[in-house]
Amino acid sequence: MTRILCVAEKPSIAKAVAGHLSGGAIRNTRNTGNKYIKNYDFNYRFPPPWGECNVTMTAVVGHTISWDFVDGFRKWKDCPPSALFDAATKQFVSPESKEVAANISSEARNAQILYIWTDCDREGEYIGTEVMDLARKTNPRIEVKRAKFSNIERAHILHAAQHPGDLDERQAAAVRARIELDLRIGAAFTRWQTMLLQTVRGLDGQIVSYGSCQFPTLGFVVDRYKKIKSFVSEPFWSIKVMHKRDDINVNFSWDRSSLFDRMAVMIMYERCLAAKVANVVSVVKKPTSKWKPLPLTTIELQKQGSRFLGLSSQLVMNIAEKLYTQGFISYPRTETDQFDEGMDLPALVGKQTQSHAWGEFAQGLLAGGFSKPKNGTHNDKAHPPIHPVAYVAPDKLNADEKRVYEFVVRRFLACCSKDARGETTTVKLQYGEEGFHTSGLVVLERNYLEVYVYDKWTSSQELPAKDLPPGFLTEPELIALMDANGIGTDATMAEHIAKIIERKYVFARPKGRSEFSPSNLGIALVEGYDNIGFDMSLSKPFLRKEMEVKMKKICEGATTCRDVVNSSVEQYREMFVKASQCSDVLKAALFHPTKDPNGPVAYELGGKAKCLLATAR
DNA sequence: GCAAGGTC
């Protein structure tokens, strides 16, 4: 009987696929040297010419192979940093992955066919080549096939098993180019910067790293700082009308909002007062609704975790990962904001009915309140939106875990309920020659708001329309900027943010939701490189975008890994040479007699609106 | 002592 070795990217996929292919008849489950990985033995009938096969299904745990420079370039004093652009590199099984690699090599020894079941994305294609190389160490002639699948639904998995494809060498080559370039450029600039700035007061021994993701992330924070700093406040004037009835103060906003000319506003104000009475011109009532949220993606979880739970995106992800491995929530790394048609959502709602906090709401959904979740526009075809898969009693979780789990559950229940409904009333006033307006909201049906306690729905407070400085960059804003500019992946964005805090480039302002302000060091690095005058600054997202474009070209066959690496190395080598020639610029940006490089930068915030108050009768 | 990516 033909022996086939199947390998997935992670243990959870191996388990699910083995379950489907074996039809529940797994002959043997064997432990491996890695505590997360099991080998599942069973029989399965593959298409001809293989037929009935003796199958072993196993997994790796992401990447198994590490990259580094060869001896003579690895230590910082071995060579000048510029030598890293051409230094030979080596690939090896990382010490943490020894057991994983050994399992693949030994299981491949007696197999005729290696069937790769890694995720169907670029990174998965590359990980597939890692697995192939490991298998060929013990079995050079093993035939390699690849399963094409985008979810782990039973029929879909069986179809993938019946239609073997091939590894996409181009996608793997694109990833290989990215790995090599990130290593060479990151290591060269990091060593150079660190050694250059080591002499600057207050930076002894501190690493000053450069990376294609961490630098643009820093750039976003510094960008906001500059917008705040360059903001010039100018006093402006407005008229506010207030009417008190039944002990409720109603504020009316001026139709002109505000003007910079104090004298003109004074005259208009006097005219209002002269008119003595303000007349109601119109009262318009309009039904309105507040939409329930979309199904939860990783990026949304990180943004809202920071906004509502006061937890850093990295902590939220670590907790979500733990809740996932314990089987409480679904896979937390997903771009998908659409639930699959086939999913039994009421069954998942049913698991939450035993909760003291939201059980009653869940019961209400099952008793007629259920409404199909809205579909977003993203689908990674690999994972469903994040949702609870089991009920967990609160005493099984610590305080932070409880909050993240609660958020995932409440978000899910909100998705399965109805939009909130209400009615707005807009009142227009004529006061002399000036017009004023206000609007109020009456919530008629709270629906999803009952369970999604993070959303508030009140009449929107009208703010002065202009002349307010921007605030600090918040973590949700930073994540949104990274997402929009392709900096990092949903799984790594939180790490890049944590990295620039660790490097003391930025500070997280601890109170409430996290906001970021740059340090003097962070500003100096961005300004220093900006002043050197590159075509594309290292602190901007364009270089990373360019890398993405080149990777796509490799995938299309328009260029090769080697050509991309060579041309990009030349591009960065030129920037490196220029930076070395201008090292004084970088040092000057950092060296300031009164500024602590690791200290926070001082902000000066702009002025406030001034109001004249008139009272309506 | 360095990057970014995968996953636990």
User: Given a cut of 50, is residue A608 above it in pLDDT?
Assistant: no
Cis bond upstream, residue A394 (ω within 30): no
The CATH number that applies at residue A520 is 1.10.460.10
A252: tokens are 């009316």
pLDDT, position A40: 97
Q: What is the DSSP letter of A321?
A: H
Contact A417, A379 (CB under 8 A): no
Task: Determine the pLDDT at residue A464.
Answer: 53
Query: Does one domain contain both A127 and A20?
Result: yes
Q: A160 with A259, same domain? A: no
Is A603 inside any structural domain? Answer: no
Mean pLDDT within A95-103: 96
Torsion of CA A65, A69, A75, A80, to 10 degrees: -150
Q: Which of A240, A273, A235 is nearest to A257 (CA)?
A: A240
In one letter, which amino acid is A523? I
Q: Which of A372, A400, A415 is the last residue of a domain?
A: A415
- Note the Cα A264 to chain centre separation in Å: 49
pLDDT digits (tens, 9 = 90+) for A40-58: 999 999 998 999 999 999 9
pLDDT digits (tens, 9 = 90+) for A481-532: 999 999 999 889 999 999 999 999 998 876 555 789 999 899 999 998 888 8
pLDDT of residue A606 exceeding 50, the answer is no
Distance of A148 CA from B7 C1′ (whole Å): 20
Helix, strand, coil percentages, rounded to 5, for chain A: 40, 20, 40
Query: Residues A107, A77: one domain?
Result: yes
- Scanning the structure block, which residue is given the tokens 């009421």? A346
Characterise A61 by phi-psi region: left (phi > 0), alpha (psi -120 to 50), beta (else).
beta
Confirm if A44 and A22 have CB atoms less than 8 A apart: yes
Strand B at less than 7 A from CB of A519: no
**Measured between alpha carbons, how far is A8 from A164 in angstroms, rounded to an integer?**
14
Closest to A220 in 3D by CA, of A497, A490, A467:
A497
Counting the structural domains of chain A, the total is 4
Structure confidence by residue, pLDDT tens digits, A249-262 = 888 999 998 888 88
User: How confident is the model over A147-170, as a mean pLDDT?
Assistant: 91
pTM for the model: 0.86
pLDDT score at A455? 92
Residue A466 is predicted with a pLDDT of 60
**Distance B7 C1' – A10 CA (angstroms):** 7
What are the pLDDT digits (tens) for A178-220?
Answer: 999 999 999 999 999 999 998 887 787 899 999 999 999 999 9
Per the structure, the residues numbered 207 to 246 in protein chain A that have their CB within 7 angstroms of any atom of strand B are 207, 209-215
The alpha carbons of chain A give a radius of gyration, in whole angstroms, of 30
Instruction: Please report whether residue A606 resides in a domain.
Output: no
Q: What is the per-residue pLDDT for A383?
A: 84
Beta carbon of A184 within 7 Å of strand B? no
Query: Domain range holding A376?
Result: 298-415
Residue A615 lies in a domain: no
Which of A461, A418, A419, A423 shows the shortest CA–CA distance to A442?
Answer: A423
Share the mean pLDDT of chain A: 90
| Strand B atom within 7 Å of A97 CB | yes
Instruction: Give yes or no for residue A610 having a pLDDT over 70.
Output: no
Flag whether A461 is in a domain.
no
Let me know whether A121 and A45 are in one domain.
yes
Cα(A351)–Cα(A364) distance, rounded to whole angstroms? 13
Whether A36 sits with its Cβ under 7 A from any strand B atom: the answer reads: yes
**In the predicted model, is pLDDT for residue A166 greater than 70?**
yes
> Which nucleotide lies nearest residue A217, CA to C1'?
B4
Specify the CATH number for the domain of residue A266. 2.70.20.10
Q: Distance, angstroms, CA A324 to C1' B2?
A: 32
Asked if strand B comes closer than 7 Å to A11 Cβ, the answer is yes
- DSSP codes, A229-260: HT------EEEEEEEEETTEEEEEEETT--BS
> Residue A194 corresponds to which tokens in the numbers above?
């660190």
CB < 7 A to strand B: residues 389-448, chain A: none
Are A346 and A367 a contacting pair, CB within 8 Å?
no
Q: Is residue A535 part of a domain?
A: yes
Å: A490 CA to B4 C1': 13
Q: Note the pLDDT tens digit of each residue in A336-346.
A: 999 988 788 99
Let me know: does A454 contact A414? Beta carbons within 8 Å.
no
List, in order, residues 6 or more apart from A547 with CB less than 8 Å away.
Answer: A178, A181, A212, A568
A151 CA from B6 C1′ (Å):
18
Q: Is the dihedral of CA A43, A44, A45, A51 positive or negative?
A: negative
Catalytic positions of A, written as ranges? 331
**Would the Cβ of A617 be found within 7 angstroms of any atom in strand B?**
no
In the 291-350 segment of chain A, residues within 7 Å (Cβ) of strand B are: 321-322, 324-325, 333
CB A7 within 8 A of CB A117: yes
Q: Which of A98-112, A249-263, A441-455 has the lowest mean pLDDT?
A: A249-263
Number of residues that this document lists for chain A: 617
Residue A615 has pLDDT above 60, yes or no: no
pLDDT reported for residue A604: 40
Q: What is the mean pLDDT of residues A118-140?
A: 96
What whole-number distance in Å separates Cα of residue A504 and Cα of residue A522?
A: 7
